[in-house]
Amino acid sequence: MASPRHFADPACRIFRLAAGALRRPMVGAMSEDRDTGRQGRAASEDGTGEEDGFRAPPAVEPLETPPIVLAAPAVPAVPPGWIAAHRLRAAIWWRGASPNLRGSVYMMAALLVYAVMVGAIKHVAAAIPLVQILLIRQVVMSLVIATFAGAALPVLVRTTRPGLQLVRGVVTLIAMLLGFTAMIRIPLAQATAIGFSQVLFVTIAAVLVLKEQVDARRWAATIIGFCGVLIMLNPSTDGLDLNAMMAVGGALFSAGITVSVRMMAATERTETILLWQGFILIVALALPAWLWWVSPTPEQWFWLAVLSLFGTAGQWLITRAYQVGEAAALAPLDFSRLILASLTGFIFFAEIPALTTWIGAAIVIAATLYTIRKNARAKPATPDPLAP
């Protein structure tokens, strides 16, 4: 055993100091472990820590993994000049198309618009007199045309054919009264089918009055389409009553409208023809509409506005169609009204066409499609400079 003098030696003192320096960190670490153990036991008693005072190793933070995002398929951007190029291409096609093809486009658009107008008239006419409906329709039409005309209205009112304008206005009034009365009182499909007799009247008038050349193929398409109409009419039944005869009369006067428009195509604007028609019909319908006036409800005013606006658009389109194309070439396209009238009558008025209507409709569609293709081939196509 070492003596006290031995520990008093300076070398021993240096050794003791070094040993103490090494012992202090270890004691501190042991103290921290004791404190941590006490905290662990306390947490264990509370039910939130590890059992038996053991301290769980610190939780390892999981590496943040970016969510997997499926990239949407890339949508090719529209080239800056793509829309302008296609507009130019459409304009070139339109200018290069034959007059009969352009007239066919106007005609088909007019038929779609008229389908809405006829359905609205049949709906409103259950409570509003027809003369009042036609008066409101003509007033709206005249106001719309005058609004678009603006400062050019005095020029558009001028006409070089006032007598023919007057005759056309009277013929239009009679055709509307007869045709719309038939559509109101009999099913739309039947009234429309009977109205197709206008095709024969137009074709004959085009040859006798307008001196147009009608080839054998157009005659065949017209006759075949009219045969389809006869199948839909089913003459063996008792369907041809006074209302049906009114539909035939409306078709006859409608053919007169077509011929008159064609006669004025070279000298009169479409807006001039429609303005004169509006003036004449407003004067003729003012007194009857005042005598039988019925105050419309808000819902009826809505439908009156719809049929007036659609009637205005349809009148302009069909007038423009007969100004651009030949009457005999466009007349067979009128058969397409049958399909639209059948759908309108079935959906809105629960009218179910007979089997003969569908058989005749198939023949009419075939004749219509052939006519459109014939019109498209009437003039060679102009090369498209934008084509690759």
C-alpha span between 221 and 199 (Å, rounded): 11
In the numeric block, the tokens 């000049």 are attached to 81
Q: Examine the pLDDT at 84 and tell me if it is beyond 90.
A: no
Range 137-146 average pLDDT: 90
Overall pTM > 0.75: no
> Is 117 or 333 the better-scoring residue by pLDDT?
117
Among 305, 320, 214, 221, smallest CA distance to 269 is for 320
Residue 207 tokens read as 């040859």
Provide the pLDDT for residue 1. 46
> Is 305 or 24 the better-scoring residue by pLDDT?
305
CB < 8 Å & 24+ apart, contacts of 83-90:
85/386, 88/386, 89/384, 89/386
C-alpha span between 326 and 101 (Å, rounded): 10
How do residues 56-73 score in pLDDT, each as one tens digit?
A: 455 545 545 555 544 445
CB 344 within 8 A of CB 188: yes
C-alpha span between 72 and 82 (Å, rounded): 23
> Is 261 or 382 the better-scoring residue by pLDDT?
261
Residue 46 tokens read as 């509370």
Provide the pLDDT for residue 239. 54
Q: Examine the pLDDT at 192 and tell me if it is beyond 80.
A: yes
Provide the pLDDT for residue 92. 86
C-alpha span between 275 and 8 (Å, rounded): 134
Provide the pLDDT for residue 384. 35
DSSP per residue over 316-343, as a string? HHHHHHHHHS-HHHHGGGGGGHHHHHHH
Is residue 124 very low, low, confident or very high in pLDDT (cuts 50, 70, 90)? very high
Q: Report in angstroms the alpha-carbon separations of 324 from 15, 222, 261, 264, 266.
A: 122, 20, 10, 11, 10
| Lowest mean per-residue pLDDT among 186-190, 213-217, 280-284, 301-305 | 213-217
Q: Where are the domains of the chain?
A: 103-376
CB 300 within 8 A of CB 128: yes
Among 176, 186, 181, smallest CA distance to 237 is for 186
Q: Examine the pLDDT at 225 and tell me if it is beyond 50.
A: yes
Return the amino acid letter for 163: G
Provide the pLDDT for residue 369. 67
DSSP per residue over 197-214, as a string? THHHHHHHHHHHTS----
